Structure 1
Amino acid sequence: MKGRQVITLKLGPEDKPSSTLADNTSYPFDMLDADARLDFGLGQAMDDLADLGIVPSETAIDLSLISVALTAADTRISRDAHAQDGWSRELGLDVPVSDPVLWRRVEPLLAKMLNFLTGDRWTLQFRARPSAYSKLSAPASKLRLGSALEVCLFSGGLDSFIGAIDLCAVGKAPLLISHYWDGETSKSQTHCREALEGQYSTLGIRHVRARIGFGHDVLGTGSSENTLRGRSFLFFSLAVLAADALGGDQIVHVPENGLISLNVPLDPLRLGALSTRTTHPYYMARFNELLVALGLKVKLVNPYAFKTKGEMIRECRAQSFIAKEAANTMSCSSPSKARWQGEAPKHCGYCVPCLIRRASMLAGLGNDSTDYSIPDLKARDLDSSEAEGMHIRSFQRAIARLRKRPAKARLDIYLPGPLIDHPDRLADYEKVYRTGIAEVEALLCGVRARPL
């Protein structure tokens, strides 16, 4: 079914959706559980904050509600079924907020950044919360901790693990922010946090986690979507929720290597379907612009925007610790696909994140003890018409093009999106792109990928 698909978030059975979006195909869901508490994982995050003795503002809670509704749309409305062009969907969100006037004022900016992030066309409608839920923040359940905390995204991946290590190594206590849906992500997050707690036991590391997602039976869309382009909006919003609760001017650390942050398409086909923009500089700048417009004193910062993943490993402030624990982080885009071969979930070893990870381990540590479904990329010819060789072949083509026309790099960095917010760092963006591709080139030397 084509046309606009609207996710309607409700706060209780008496909450009524906005009439302007009512004529579209709408999928309502109640954000409150049977005890009238926030559901779908957001209540879990709120409880974690209350246990720290901190309470977020209603505006920050609004942002999180919007991010949950967006997650529902992004994961439960299929591109195949609902996109006119096979990619871009017409999506709508109808969300109750504490201050509809404020949110209507920022709606053009919010729609622009979501369009860029997911490649869809978003329509956003805001209405007042029901009077019974005009305030969703709950009193803190404990006295506030005295120690200062540094908010840091914590995905269970290698980059965020290094980000947390680098904070701990200089004596800063991180407040780790995680969301997850699958068991493997949760397992990696838990292991990495416990490793940090063991290594830096005196710091008082804290962890806020939320299992946010929607089962097949919740919305009734009859479909699902695995491209997940909107996931960083949820991640960022949860981090802002925590940072806002801490009070004062706060920085959210977004540890992401510069190559994957830019995510220059490896070939023309990757511009839409296979090129994510989750931490692209343009998107992060728009998110910060949104926070200013909302009056939230929080800023997102990527301290590794001009570092490759290999450089992040080499420059990590705890070399023996990262060497010991790097293999326990999770980078794979879909570790559960190992089940298709009858194996336990693990890194596939051939998706784009896995290839960049393998290259960085080689460049940063000189070895890699990660368990991959394909442990040796050089052991046999890989089929480039299948997943095992598709991305390898794309990298090889990009490498060949750069080798033939090195100057093209300064143009390629603009392909994923504008870099207008950092005009004085263009040479640095080009450098991190070149260096990152060179790391992958070293990994793929001698690897054969062709149609079989």
Structure 2
Amino acid sequence: MPKRCEDDESAIRVAVVESDVRSRPGWIKCRIDENLRFSAEPLASYFFAKWEPLVFDALLLAAAVEFCDRIKRRPSFQWSREIELRIPVHAPAVWKQRDVTESLHDALEFLTGDRWRVEFTERKNAITPPRQGLFNLPPAESLAIIPFSEGLDSRAVAGFMSRKFGDRLIRVRLGTKSDDRPSDSSGRRSPFAGVPYNVRRGEHRFVESSARSRGFKFALLSGLAAYMAKADRVFVPESGQGALGPSLVPVGQAYEDYRNHPAFTAKMSVFLKSLLGHDVRFEFPRLWFTKGETLLEYVSGSAQAADWKETRSCWQDNRYASVNEHRRQCGICAACMLRRLSVHAAGLSEAPETYIWEDLRAGSFEDGAAVGFKKIAAQRNYAIAGALHLDHLAGLRRSRIHAPALESNTRHLARSLQLPEQEVRTGIERMLTQHEKEWKDFMEFLGPDSFVSRWTERAYDHVA
């Protein structure tokens, strides 16, 4: 890595420190137990079998990476930042192995588009192991892991795959709602019951919202769960539009989004093998399907599947997604637009009050919002970007201009999945064809006078 300038606006230097340890001048201090706080019960749920300091250090790494990603805004005229992170671990010799550091940097840089240098030092004080208890874990034969959050794909895929795998499918809790935690009629606690740490800004401000490191957090926590449970498979529940769409149709000049992409999880498999000596395979059972198809399969198989309405797709926080102090989903960001498209494609409906933008059929952007919402102008660019992303993805298959990039993505994806290129090409074609059909149907439902239709009405004229 080239030497960085002291006044480089893209440079970030973060030192994770124990509470009684001082950091170097010029480095941002990230204190354990202050900025990175571990919760006793969720932490214990990761160590149901035995205490492994190496696994704790990996959890600390996930938390520290999130802190670094959020603490400094990306420069105005470039995407990439220079990030230097120092972190204390129990066994630095393990972390300093060449294959471990190289695979870690490879995964982080591919995911975030930043340049990373992570250095490991020896801890001054060993962590006290959490108390271990009785957790509900079936025998290890043929176990599989699935990340589980409050998202729609997560709820649906975990639901219909549990019909196939039963209690051999272990859910790793990655969301924030306590009522999303899987219940157990036996009364025993479940492993991996929650994210075992909180990342807090402390005296600093979290100013960067691109959140690319979220993919590292999800993949690492899922991989660690597979290691602790002696499982070798992690099912990624994301459907094709969410897994592949953000890299096929990037937003503006932003770096491609690989948070749920097989190319990134393949790199995480290499890192986990280097660190833990354990093979973890990330599988995408819904990669060639749309979210609408995934939702339809879920609701078709169970009378209890109406709980999909309790899920949340919007990533906006309460400051921007509340009406009269009641939290809603915004309804117009890319994630919300995909959700609404998918609900329509599955032949379902939601109450208008689910979203701030209650009416997408309104003639103007302003008229579509709920009465009482005051931050309409601030959301306009998000709304346009969300609609155009789905519209561009719908036109991608037939665009000669984008054909070379699509073919390049196909080859890259084939290598990551270790599948024949023709099989991958067929899968992408199938997903894009279905997405195009669903999007056309949705636009017809919204009608030509909808503000969404007016934003996208010329999209198909742009196909070369």
Query: How many pairs were matched up?
Result: 417
Change (3 A) 1:147 1:395: closer
Aligned match for 2:111, one of 96, 117, 129 = 117
Structure 1 residue 391: Cα displacement: 2.1
Change (3 A) 1:56 1:439: farther
* Residue 429 of structure 1 pairs with residue 423 of structure 2: no
Indicate conservation of the 8 Å contact 2:16/2:32, yes or no: yes
Larger CA deviation: 406-415 vs 209-218: 406-415
Aligned match for 1:141, one of 118, 121, 132 = 132
In structure 2, C-alpha distance between the alignment counterparts of 1:204 and 1:348, rounded to whole Å: 37
* Residue 258 of structure 1 pairs with residue 240 of structure 2: yes
In structure 2, C-alpha distance between the alignment counterparts of 1:287 and 1:43, rounded to whole Å: 27
* Residue 386 of structure 1 pairs with residue 384 of structure 2: no
In structure 2, C-alpha distance between the alignment counterparts of 1:162 and 1:146, rounded to whole Å: 22
In structure 2, C-alpha distance between the alignment counterparts of 1:415 and 1:58, rounded to whole Å: 39
Indicate conservation of the 8 Å contact 2:272/2:280, yes or no: yes
Structure 1 residue 401: Cα displacement: 5.6
Tell me the SS of whatever aligns to 2:318.
helix
Give the partner amino acid of 1:85: F
Change (3 A) 1:49 1:265: closer
Correspondences of 1:6-405 after superposition (within 5 Å): 6-14=13-21, 25-32=26-33, 40-41=37-38, 43-50=40-47, 53-55=48-50, 57-79=52-74, 83=75, 85-104=77-96, 105=98, 106-130=100-124, 132-133=125-126, 136=127, 138=129, 140-143=131-134, 145=136, 147-148=138-139, 150-170=144-164, 171-172=166-167, 174-180=169-175, 186-187=176-177, 190-193=178-181, 197=183, 201=185, 206=190, 208-210=193-195, 212-218=197-203, 220=204, 222-246=205-229, 248-264=230-246, 269-270=251-252, 272=254, 275-294=256-275, 295-316=277-298, 319-321=301-303, 323-339=305-321, 342-369=324-351, 371-382=354-365, 386-400=381-395, 402-403=397-398, 405=399
In structure 2, C-alpha distance between the alignment counterparts of 1:416 and 1:380, rounded to whole Å: 39
Give the partner amino acid of 1:45: P
Change (3 A) 1:265 1:176: closer
Structure 1 residue 43: Cα displacement: 4.4
Change (3 A) 1:151 1:409: same
Structure 1 residue 67: Cα displacement: 0.8
Counterpart in the other structure of 1:418: 412
Indicate conservation of the 8 Å contact 1:291/1:297, yes or no: yes
Change (3 A) 1:144 1:389: closer
Change (3 A) 1:55 1:272: farther
Tell me the SS of whatever aligns to 1:386.
helix
Indicate conservation of the 8 Å contact 1:109/1:290, yes or no: yes
Instruction: Provide TM-score, normalisation by structure 1.
Output: 0.80
In structure 2, C-alpha distance between the alignment counterparts of 1:72 and 1:417, rounded to whole Å: 34
* Aligned-pair Cα RMSD in Å: 3.3
Structure 1 residue 116: Cα displacement: 1.4
Indicate conservation of the 8 Å contact 1:8/1:28, yes or no: yes
In structure 1, C-alpha distance between the alignment counterparts of 2:69 and 2:90, rounded to whole Å: 24
Tell me the SS of whatever aligns to 1:172.
helix
Structure 1 residue 392: Cα displacement: 1.3
In structure 1, C-alpha distance between the alignment counterparts of 2:388 and 2:36, rounded to whole Å: 43
Structure 1 residue 398: Cα displacement: 4.5
Q: Give unmatched runs, 5+ long, in structure 2.
A: 1-6, 367-378, 456-464
Tell me the SS of whatever aligns to 1:304.
coil
Counterpart in the other structure of 1:183: none
Structure 1 residue 150: Cα displacement: 4.3
Give the partner amino acid of 2:273: V
Larger CA deviation: 137-146 vs 425-434: 137-146
Tell me the SS of whatever aligns to 1:418.
helix
Change (3 A) 1:348 1:417: farther
Counterpart in the other structure of 2:374: none
Indicate conservation of the 8 Å contact 2:321/2:330, yes or no: no
In structure 2, C-alpha distance between the alignment counterparts of 1:42 and 1:238, rounded to whole Å: 15
Counterpart in the other structure of 2:461: none
Tell me the SS of whatever aligns to 1:208.
coil
Larger CA deviation: 390-399 vs 57-66: 390-399
Q: Which ranges of 4 or more aligned residues in structure 1 deviate by more than 6 Å? A: 202-205
Between the two proteins, what is the percent identity of the paired residues? Answer: 23
In structure 1, C-alpha distance between the alignment counterparts of 2:304 and 2:351, rounded to whole Å: 12
1:202-229 alpha-carbon deviations (Å, 9 max, x no partner): 79783511264433424x3x45211111
